[in-house]
């Protein structure tokens, strides 16, 4: 890892650790905290394993593909996710949301495990497609007492942190042993996706 990459990732790493330390069940519930919309938005992606694995996989895949995908995919995901979240808040019916979220873990894990290198536009379409369903799920689960805008800001920030976590790990691919670790993580993510798909989790 270069000095520039270290300087870029270290502040995010400290913030990510601080975020996990700061969040607790006592202050993450919107019903009991005036800032619950924002905190609930942050908490939701960080406590749902199905969301975590997909978002980390996006970062892993982006890092494996290298620039500009490393930065484009983690931007596409929250942008499209925010749109899906807005549709969820409005209550537009979308069939097969949970199944698609499970499939996102399978597919995004597989592209990492198989070291897939499609054209950048195709990778963006794949990521954007699944991002919509993750966002819709967030929007539907929006607490009634929460401010939709602060909740959305919270889950977009948490999503970005999960992407950065994936990118940080994905940078290990510059070494042969790191490629083994990253592709193995892709296999683990795929297995988790199948577990959700068949209802084991």
Q: What value does the mean pLDDT take over residues 143-170?
A: 84
pLDDT bracket for residue 59 (50, 70, 90) = very high
* pLDDT bracket for residue 143 (50, 70, 90): low
Instruction: Answer whether 88's CB lies under 8 Å from 139's CB.
Output: yes
Contacts of 172 (CB under 8 A, 6+ apart): 178, 179, 181, 182
Task: Establish if 7 belongs to a structural domain.
Answer: no
Which residues, 6 or more positions from 16, have their beta carbon under 8 angstroms from its beta carbon?
161, 164, 165
Whether 33 has a pLDDT exceeding 80, the answer reads no
* Confidence class for position 70, pLDDT limits 50, 70, 90: very high
pLDDT at 146: 60
The yes-or-no verdict on residue 11 having pLDDT over 70 is no
The tokens describing 41, both together, are 């938005």
Domain that holds residue 103: 36-197
The Cα angle at residue 116 between residues 5 and 79, in degrees rounded to 5: 60
For 57, the 3-state DSSP assignment is helix
Confidence check: pLDDT of 150 > 90: no
Please state the rounded mean pLDDT for residues 46-60.
Answer: 92
According to the model, what pLDDT value does residue 110 have?
97
What's the mean pLDDT in 32-41?
61
Task: Give pTM, 2 decimals.
Answer: 0.78
143 vs 199 pLDDT, higher one: 199
DSSP 26: T
What is residue 145's predicted lDDT score, i.e. its pLDDT? 54
Domain count, the chain: 1
Nearest C-alpha neighbor of 132 from the set 76, 91, 186, 90: 76
Quick check: is 30 in a domain? no
Asked whether residue 155 is domain-assigned, the answer is: yes
- Which pair of structure tokens corresponds to residue 154? 């919270």
Predicted local confidence at residue 92, as pLDDT: 75
- Does residue 24 fall inside a structural domain? no
Q: Is residue 88 part of a domain?
A: yes
Query: Looking at per-residue confidence, does 92 or 20 come out higher?
Result: 92
For residues 29-49, average pLDDT: 65
Provide Rg for the chain, Cα atoms: 16
Q: What's the pLDDT band for 86 if we cut at 50, 70, 90?
A: confident
Residue 9 has pLDDT above 70, yes or no: no
How distant, in Å, are the alpha carbons of 32, 92, 98, 127, 136 from that of 89?
A: 21, 8, 16, 21, 8
What is the average per-residue pLDDT within 118-145? 88
**What are 91's two structure tokens?**
């209550």
d(CA 79, CA 95): 21
CB-based contacts of 86, cutoff 8 Å, min separation 6: 135, 139, 152
């Amino acid at each position: 890892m270069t000095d520039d990459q270290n300087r870029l990732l270290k502040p995010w790493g400290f913030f990510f650790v601080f975020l996990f330390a700061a969040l607790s069940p006592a202050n993450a519930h919107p019903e009991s905290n005036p800032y619950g919309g924002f905190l609930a938005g942050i908490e939701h992606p960080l406590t749902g394993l199905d969301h975590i694995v997909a978002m980390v996989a996006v970062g892993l895949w982006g890092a494996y593909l290298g620039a500009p995908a490393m930065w484009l995919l983690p931007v596409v995901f929250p942008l499209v996710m925010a749109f899906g979240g807005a549709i969820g808040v409005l209550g537009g019916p979308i069939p097969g949301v949970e199944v698609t979220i499970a499939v996102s873990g399978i597919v995004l894990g597989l592209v990492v495990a198989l070291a897939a290198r499609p054209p950048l536009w195709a990778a963006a379409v794949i990521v954007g497609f699944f991002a919509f369903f993750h966002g819709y799920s967030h929007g539907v689960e929006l607490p009634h007492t929460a401010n939709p805008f602060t909740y959305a800001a919270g889950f977009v920030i948490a999503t970005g942190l999960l992407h950065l976590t994936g990118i940080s790990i994905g940078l290990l691919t510059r070494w042969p042993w790191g490629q083994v670790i990253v592709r193995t993580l892709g296999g683990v993510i795929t297995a988790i996706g199948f577990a959700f798909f068949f209802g084991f989790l």
